[in-house]
Every structure is written in structure tokens, then in C-alpha cells.
Structure 1
């Protein structure tokens, strides 16, 4: 059996009508930049709460606490998805997203605001696990690859749009940026109207009866670790690029355009994943890590903004391919009964990687400067690519040995 179908033995239900597909993609758009949407408002927020002790530090936590909450709650939400209705989890999560996300419009207490951001993280975790699991159930083969490519592209473009809109609203007032989260209300209506569970989805009574084999468990663990490393590498860009470009006397608006270009390249790469996926999951992962390494090395050694843009474009190609690849890979490597739990672990690893990336980068920067953080990310990506290659080679040798033994 090929790598793409060796574990997948679940049903192949009739795919939902276009409305259901659009609803799942729209729900995915809400999630990726959920925490960073209000980043442009942080300076005004810090000024507003200046009377609170350690206000500057606490205001930054308003963003990061959402990512930490996602990382902690995603495995739990995955477990709930596998034992109850995934469509119901998605519907409730999108509604909670709108309430908790927009809470800053009427909350004027920093501690209460942080609680609402933690709740937002739970809503994001629920929406991400449920939407990804539902795509995994409703679609198979190349159609699934296409949907995951669309999901990754929409997430990137939606995140960029929300971040830009949040910046525009932040010019009005610190809490106006929270209005962006109200865009989830029409999505909630669409999800409630169009999204349903597949007819043969396992029930809570049977979900515990289908456990992954030790081999599948090892593969899932490897995918989860890979996701963690990828986010450590990738998140060097949004957290450190403005500082690197600052050393080149690049202004904030140009920095925004550069990041916007990277998001566009990433989205285009994701749209092309359905064709690249024919290479197989491990090969796509290897290609992605090599591209990310080359791109980060180019940025880290750049002496002009043109070289930075070139490096980011190369890296964005890798990121755009690897994100839908991880979702597809873990979907094929699990059964319907336990798929959402594995997706929850994947999402948790991704956000833990985002949380860890600036901490690791800061230690490197103190020793050698911002450019060194990009070079370190390039080395980490290359080492990971080498590990993926070594594992792939080992798998091929084992398969060849078993075939020879069988033939003899």
C-alpha cells in the first residue's frame, strides 16, 4: 500500500455541498491570527492601563495567553470531538469565539480581559480541531488535499486581512480592534446552517474501542514533533523580522508590505499543495524543510531588503506546503475514532512552538544579533530535513528487505 493510503481505512462519505465546504474554510480563517489580531492596539492599550502595575508586560500577555490557552486546551477539545458531535463542537466554538473575542469592546479591566482571551483560546482550539477533523471525515484522497490546501491558504489570507483591519481600527481606539472578532457572527450562521457530521462518524460509545497501533502512534508522535519544530522556525519571521528590517532603516509600512507579500506566496503555495502532495508526505515534508532552511539562511545573510524578500519568498513556499501536508498526513495516519485527538495534539504542538520560538530566538539574539536568529532557524530546519530524509531512507530499506524476504 502507498504512503497515502496505508492507514486510512475509514468510510468515504458523500462530500458536503459547497455551502458546507465554504463554512469549514471560513471557520478555519478565523483561527490562525486570532491572538495577533489586536497586536496593533497594544501600545494604546498599554497607555490606557498605565495605572495598572506592570501594565506593559501584562498587555503583551493579552496576545500570548491566547496561544498558550490553545496549546493547553487543544488536546482536550480533540478528545471531545472524538466522543461527541464534531459539528456541534464547531458551532459552539465559533459562537464562543465571537463572544470572547469581542469582549474587549465592553471590558475595561485588564485582569478580566485576560480571562476573556484565555476563553478565546479554548474557542480557537475547538474550531481548529473540529474543522480540520470534519474536513478529514468528509473528504478523501486528492479532494482532501485540495481542501487542506484551501484551508491553509484561507487561513493565511484571512489572518493578514484581520491583522490589517485590526490595525486600522486600533487607530480609532485601543478597544475598537476587538470588533474584528464580530466577523465570526456570519460565519457562525453559515456553520450552523450548513455543517453536519458524516453519517458514519463513530459515537462516544465506540470511540475508545479503536486505538492506533504502536507503529501508527510512533508516526503520529513524529508528525507532532515535526509541527513543533516547524513553528519554532517559522515564527522567527513575525517576531524578529521587524527588528531585522529596522537595522536596514526600513519603515513600518514597508515591513507590513513585505510580510503581506510573504503571506501571499504562502497562500499560493498552499493552493498548489494538491499537486505537490503526489510526491508523498515525507517527501513534501523534506522539500518544505529544505525550502525553509534556504529561505531563512538567505534572510539571515541579507544586506538589502531585496535579498530579505527573496529569502522570505523561498521560506514561504515551504511553509505553504508543509501546513496542509501535516494535516493530511495525520488524517491519513489515524482512524475516524481517534483522528480529532491526534489533530488536537498537532495543534497544541504548533502553538507551543509559536510560544517557544521568541524565547529561543531571544537567547540567540543576545549572543549575536537578530540575523543570527534567522541563521539558527535555517540550521534547525536543515537538521530536521536530514532527520526526515534518514527516516524515509530507513523506511525504504525496511520495505525493500521485507519484499526480498517475501519473494525468497
Structure 2
């Protein structure tokens, strides 16, 4: 197996950062987009329609992974990502714009699945856990940088944030020049009969948990660009900076995630992440003080860092060489399906305090249910192993 250089690792992390920015890069300038585009649909859909595209195309992309290989699929995803992302600034027809954003989601899932599969192929054991944690950090670092840049560019011209999508072409050049293309070593899963049933149940639970975690995370990203200017008088750049701060905390939390797992275990760390989401939305629901927004930033960012990167690793651990493509596609469906579901929070109420109260209640309920289901899986795993041996 060819060894990946440090610059190759940087390339993987750089490419990973594109997945988070697919919708959020234009979030700080959403109010400016609304002023210049006569949209016949909710402006929040511009952020979340790519997520619907991921959900629709993830099963197809999962199958293509085995046929094309990670590098080829990654290259094929980066080109339309750049083109479709930029076109969103110039399309005036609502229907064409919706199609454009959905197809952008198809390109995004190709990028996410292929990068994660590449990491799974070339890294094993604790090194893989660290790489997945770094990937989560890179995704959120991209959120920091791209949100901040998007906010600044949005104040200059509402179309300028769309040009950030062209970074995918830079990534394509790096992928072609830097990443090894040799067929990597794959681990063989020898314990099949004792764990197959348990793994299928675990995959379903991870899918549901990832969907709900991302839904809770993106409730903030969908509502804050409109809530902050209305309630706190924030400018577009100030909105971008606050949302970027959430990503900074997520990076820190993701960096601590492997240590949290060693202390509490996978399942309890995920549950803890949902409880942090709850705390973040409790603060938003109960205060209008700018000073308390810092607590929201800390809680919601930590919630992401303890859930999504860890659930990604857990999905890999529950996969075999034969099911990896399908399961990674399923994980992408969960993550981006959660983003899309967050669009509908505006139908809960026109009062943001009510929306955040519902989000906090949901986070607590989800934490309790997920904890119970993980405990049930552990008992089932123990029973299967006992009967197998």
C-alpha cells in the first residue's frame, strides 16, 4: 500500500471541508440574497436543498463507490460541485435554482462518501479514529473560514459568496497530484454470524442519530441568519462571525472527542452531545441578552463535536468491505437529511423563542431514547456472543 504524505492528509482534510460549506457558505448573506432574488420559496431552502439532493442521490453514489473507486468518484464529484455552486448566483428561475441546488447535493455526497471511504481504506485502528476526528475538525474549520469569508463577501456583493464554490477545482488539482491511487488494503471482518444482526441494528441507530443530530445543529444555522439581525441588530459579517464561532467550538470538541470516548464510551459521548444541543437551545429560548449568546455558541458547537464525527467513525466500525459503500451513503443521507429537515422549523412558529424551546425539548427526548437504544444493543450483542460461542 502506498503511504500517504502529510500533504496528502492535508488534501483529504481540505476536500472534507467542502461538505459543510455546501449550504452554509451563503448563510450570512441570506438577507441580501432575499433582497435581490424574487424567490417564490423559503430562502432557507437555499441552504438546505443541497441536503435533499444528498438524500436522493446517496443510494446511487454508494453503489458507484464500488464501481469507480474512491479517487475517481471524488474527482467526478468536485467538478459539478464547483460549476453548480457558482451557477446559483446567476439563475433567476425558481425551478432551475431548486434543481441546481439539489444537483449540488449529489456532487456533495460523492465528495463525502469517497473521502471517508478513502480514509477507511488507508487508515486502521486508533489512527483511523484520529483521522475521522481530524476530518470532523476540518469540516468545522471550513465552516469557520467559509462562513467568515462569506459574511465579508456578502457585504460587498450578495453574489460573491457563490464564488467560494470554485475552491473545488483547487481541490481537484490536489487530489490528482497528491493522493495515491493504488488499491489499498482492506480489513477482513472475520466475525460475521455472531455480529451481523447486531451490526444492522447499530447501522440503523447510527443513521437515525446522525439525522437527528444534524437536524438539531442546523436549526441554528437556518434560524440565526434571520434571528440575529432582527433581535440583536447584527450585520451580515457579525452573523457570520458568530456562526463561525460555533464551528470553532465544534473543532475543539471534536479534538477532545477521542479522549471522551476512552472515558465514557461511544454511546454515552453521543448522548452527551445531544444534551449539549439541549442546553444551547435553552439559552436561546430564555434570553435576549447578547452576553448569553456565547453560551449558545459553546453548547451547540460542543454538541456537534461529540456527535457527527463520532457517529461517522461508528458507522465505519459497523461496516464490512462489502457494506461500506452502502453504509457511508446511509450516513450521508442521515447527516444531510437532518439538514433538510431543519428547514421546516419555521412551520413550528413565527416566534423564534418557541422554535428554540421545541428544539431543546426534542434534544432531551432524543438523548433519552438514543441512550436506551444503545443500551439495548449492548445487551443484544452480549447475548449473541454468548450463544455464538
CA distance in 2, matches of 1:14, 1:118: 36
TM-score normalised by the chain length of structure 2: 0.86
Q: Which moved further from structure 2: 156-165 or 342-351? A: 156-165
Q: Which moved further from structure 2: 39-48 or 302-311? A: 39-48
In the alignment, structure 1 residue 222 sits paired with structure 2 residue 210: no
CA-CA distance at 1:76 after TM superposition: 1.4
Q: Report the aligned-residue RMSD.
A: 3.1
In the alignment, structure 1 residue 84 sits paired with structure 2 residue 68: yes
User: In the alignment, what sits opposite 2:190?
Assistant: none
8 Å contact kept, 1:145–1:324: no
Q: Which moved further from structure 2: 252-261 or 262-271? A: 252-261
User: In the alignment, what sits opposite 1:341?
Assistant: 326
> Residues 146 and 187 (structure 1 numbering): CA distance in 2 closer, same or farther, change over 3 Å?
same
Q: Which runs of 5+ in 2 are unaligned?
A: 188-192
Q: Equivalent of 1:148, from 107, 121, 132?
A: 132
In the alignment, structure 1 residue 117 sits paired with structure 2 residue 101: yes
Partner of 2:48: helix, strand, or coil? helix
8 Å contact kept, 2:121–2:185: no
CA-CA distance at 1:290 after TM superposition: 2.1
TM-score normalised by the chain length of structure 1: 0.82
In the alignment, structure 1 residue 257 sits paired with structure 2 residue 245: no
User: In the alignment, what sits opposite 1:354?
Assistant: 339
Matches within 5 A, 1:309-348: 309-348=294-333
In the alignment, structure 1 residue 388 sits paired with structure 2 residue 362: no
8 Å contact kept, 2:23–2:50: yes
> Residues 362 and 113 (structure 1 numbering): CA distance in 2 closer, same or farther, change over 3 Å?
closer
> Residues 364 and 110 (structure 1 numbering): CA distance in 2 closer, same or farther, change over 3 Å?
closer
Partner of 2:307: helix, strand, or coil? helix
8 Å contact kept, 2:148–2:241: no
8 Å contact kept, 2:283–2:292: yes
CA distance in 2, matches of 1:256, 1:46: 17
Q: Which moved further from structure 2: 264-273 or 323-332? A: 264-273
User: In the alignment, what sits opposite 1:71?
Assistant: 55
CA-CA distance at 1:219 after TM superposition: 1.0
Q: Could you list the per-position Cα deviations for residues 162-205 of structure 1 after superposition, in whole angstroms to 9, with x for gaps in the alignment?
A: 23323333344443332211222221111112223543459xxx
Q: Equivalent of 1:129, from 113, 125, 131?
A: 113
Q: Which moved further from structure 2: 243-252 or 157-166? A: 243-252
CA distance in 2, matches of 1:37, 1:322: 22
**CA radius of gyration, larger in:** 1
> Residues 58 and 248 (structure 1 numbering): CA distance in 2 closer, same or farther, change over 3 Å?
closer
User: In the alignment, what sits opposite 2:255?
Assistant: 271
CA distance in 1, matches of 2:381, 2:196: 18
CA distance in 1, matches of 2:385, 2:66: 36
> Aligned pairs, how many?
381
